[in-house]
Structure 1
Amino acid sequence: MSKATWTGGAWPFTVPDGVLKCYVEDSMETFTSGGVEYGLNATAKRFGNFRDIDDIVPTGPTAYVDINGTKQPVKTYAVSLDGIYARASKLCS
């Protein structure tokens, strides 16, 4: 898939293209770009030896939540990854 051919809204990555993959036996979903494979789902992030997808996702403004009276920063995304997650999940089903 590529920024040029993506029809699911704004392109959600800082790289121009990549390949979605599912390791069916482990249910790990990944996105590969420039020879680097990034973990998409929790299983890939936790058990795969993949780079963090956050490395190639544009960030939005920092948000904050109050935890026990302490303001904690929370990362937000400038663009939704829902379309990518949905396509990757279809590969694993």
Structure 2
Amino acid sequence: MNVIPAQLQTLTKRVEKTPALIIALFSGLTALWSVYRLLWLVYAGFALSSYGLSPISLIISFVVWIVVAVAAGLAAFAFWTRYSTAEEKPEQ
């Protein structure tokens, strides 16, 4: 079963092994940062509600960080798969 969309696979096949690793690592860090931001948004929502304010204004930020986390996670997985399946270029 293939989780990576075909269009993303064709894009990752153009990237060599070392740049694929770098892109995967930075995409993974971006996904982790997005999860961190989501946790702070939940905390801010609880803090706002304890003061009697509505945390509804945080919904747009919450959706944006979810989208960033999913996109970065998918890119990290795609490039990590590319890195792990890529063969080294033969030396000339």
The TM-score, its normalising length taken from structure 2, stands at 0.31
* Structure (1/2) with the larger helix percentage: 2
* Structure (1/2) with the larger strand percentage: 1
User: Which structure's relative contact order is higher, taking Cα pairs within 8 Å and 6+ residues apart?
Assistant: 2
The TM-score, its normalising length taken from structure 1, stands at 0.30
Pair member with larger Rg: 2
